[in-house]
Amino acid sequence: MTPAKQRPISISSRDRAVLDSQKKRYEESTGQKPDWGEFLATVALLGLAAAGIYHLAKTTNRSPQSVDVQCCQCGGNFLLAVPSGMGRAIQTTCPHCNADLVVDLGNPR
């Protein structure tokens, strides 16, 4: 199956400069160099968690392929498999209480 082509998003020159600046700060801070799609997906999920739309779950690295996640709604713990190539932040649902969670893979606690 052929992946869908990306369509350009029309933004003003000022907004483009702001986004370029924020992406550069992200890259300098994390040492990661994501493409634009991965960067926007990551900051959108983390931003939605900061805005209270999703809950930011606490994590502990278990291995490169998995993290232990603690739900901030019910306190339940669960193991989350992380396939290689995933972005820094992923959205998941707590298997205990069905809360929508964001897991920040770049910031284990």
In contact, 93 and 73? CB cutoff 8 Å: no
Q: What Cα–Cα distance (Å) separates residue 75 from each residue in 6, 58, 71, 88, 95?
A: 39, 10, 5, 22, 11
Confidence of residue 79 (pLDDT cuts 50, 70, 90): very high
Is pLDDT at 108 greater than 60 in this prediction?
no
The larger pLDDT score, comparing residue 57 to residue 64, is at: 57
Query: Where along the chain do its domains lie?
Result: 13-104
Burial class of residue 29 in the structure, from the number of CB atoms within 10 Å of its CB (0-12 exposed, 13-18 middle, 19+ buried): exposed
Q: For position 107, what pLDDT does the model report?
A: 63
8-31 residue pLDDT tens: 778 899 999 999 999 999 999 988
Q: Identify each DSSP E strand in the chain by its residue range.
A: 55-63, 66-70, 77-81, 89-93, 100-104
48-62 residue pLDDT tens: 999 999 999 988 888
